[in-house]
Structure 1
């Protein structure tokens, strides 16, 4: 498929809007619901939306022979989501997003350990800057490491493991199949603690439940479409816009301060990620050139 940066940018705007909507709805729901309850309603609403869509486009889209792999992926992903949504109720919005940006660092390490991917100089630099960014954001020794920050850091590691599993699944599974089994498998995980501590949603909560369910699906879909239309070197920098945008949302609507150290640390992580992406792009072009020349 040919590169279409403008179309990719449009899809990324949809992804950014969805991620912001998911963060805001998670914060709004946390005042009345536990994290398990939020995840239960998120899975249920997402499953209903996907079921309606599949009724139109055909249920054959979710045929799979890798149900066990889906199960492993979604147990890990549920842990990541639990930490992320719990963090939204305990930390400023910008802190959660900044710590989440460490996910590419953990992804690179896990890809090396689990998939045997080569640890190039660019990747080593990205990992080094990533860890430096983590230290700047958390500032151990200057401030006491908070439990909520460590929880969100754990969520980022779970997300990294999820991305590795998704990379493997995507070779045989469609995006809609991955999303469907995400909702289907995670629904009963969140259902047990939700039923033990049942809270009937109010009319105002129903709106945010619908938002959190739909925004989770649309964020993944828009991001996937953007990556299919342009290189990651174009798409990923747009994703880093989430931090300044969520900082403004936190400032305007929740009276949260803007931490310059946090922005600086996130900038280090973003810079390292961009260096790694550009190096990968250059390396892939060199490999393509060698193939065209008929060289191994």
Structure 2
């Protein structure tokens, strides 16, 4: 039996933790280089990830699985670097709104590279999401900053990592997939962090440990939301992340409230929610048939 209300509550909590994590990154980002910030966030999260690797010590991985883990770690490393750079260059609300492109890229990539069928509803969702991105960026009407370009690249790379994770999830336990991601990304970020390293105090270490805690709690709440209810029921609740980002950006960082960003994020979120709902309906019909 599904529990839609519980799923929505878990998803709301997940969004709060995600917004809290991004706010901390933005707060510390002006003092610490993006590559170092990203490294500290993942390195300080390793205590949460190492226990997840226990099945790996017992059974090991094949050469093919190791290559997939390395590939996911590489693309995720580059995506995280671009995401942390964007966080320090553009408003919090714009980062959150453009994050909604990730599931659209995943949908498109699954059809191109994983052999999933091209469905009209998926194509419409991709088209609507691109319209939403154009509403946010408004090229020709305002300057497109390096942070916007970085965020587009980050969304594409992170979505590529999710596609690799989807391939891996059928071969190794989910905990191993998550644990290996933390380990490989930490190693991948290390040389970039060393190249720009600046001294940090215990206060900064505490902030970055907070991002690791928030990220872990956010992913846990998201997992509970998916277990409690279909994605179509919980996905609209993620739009609240944009609302909280706008409010937090205005109050904590003095960022102006941009109605175009809210509109563009709403269009993207509507596309994501619609395709998630239609996929859930299609799966239910197939199961009943």
What TM bracket, shorter-length normalisation?
Answer: over 0.9
| Alignment partners' CA distance in 1, 2:142 and 2:60 | 48
Note closer, same or farther for the CA distance 1:64–1:170 as it changes in structure 2 (3 Å cut): farther
- For 2:206, the equivalent position in structure 1 comes to 207
Partner residue, 2:163: 164
Match of 1:281 in 2: 280
Whether the 8 Å contact between 1:37 and 1:194 is mirrored in structure 2 is yes
Cα pair 2:45 2:213 within 8 Å, conserved? yes
Gaps of 5+ in 1: 291-296
- In 2, the alpha carbon distance for the partners of 1:160 and 1:259 equals 26
Matches of 1:35 and 1:100, distance apart in 2: 18
Deviations 1:82-122 (A, max 9, x none): 11111110000001111111112211211110012112121
Do the aligned partners of residues 58 and 89 (structure 1) sit closer, same or farther apart at CA in structure 2, a change above 3 Å counting? closer
> In the alignment, is the contact (CA less than 8 A) between 1:11 and 1:225 conserved in 2?
yes
TM-score of the pair, normalised by structure 2:
0.92
Give the RMSD, CA atoms, in angstroms.
Answer: 1.8
User: How far off is 1:58 after superposition?
Assistant: 8.3
Partner of 2:150: 151
Q: Deviations 1:153-202 (Å, cap 9, x if unpaired)?
A: 11111121122112222223333322211121111222223234332321
In the TM superposition, 1:9-20 aligns within 5 A as 9-20=8-19
Q: Show the counterpart of 1:293.
A: none
CA offsets per residue over residues 4-54 of structure 1, 9 Å max, x none?
223323322331122012101111221221111112111211112333xx2
User: Distance between the aligned counterparts of 2:54 and 2:87, measured in 1?
Assistant: 35
Given that residues 87 and 147 in structure 2 are in contact (C-alpha distance below 8 angstroms), is that contact kept between their aligned partners in structure 1?
Answer: no
TM-score, normalised to structure 1, is 0.90
Runs of 4+ in structure 1 off by over 6 angstroms are: none
Paired residues, number: 285
What is aligned with 1:91? 90
Distance in structure 2 (CA, Å) of the matches to 1:141 and 1:58: 48
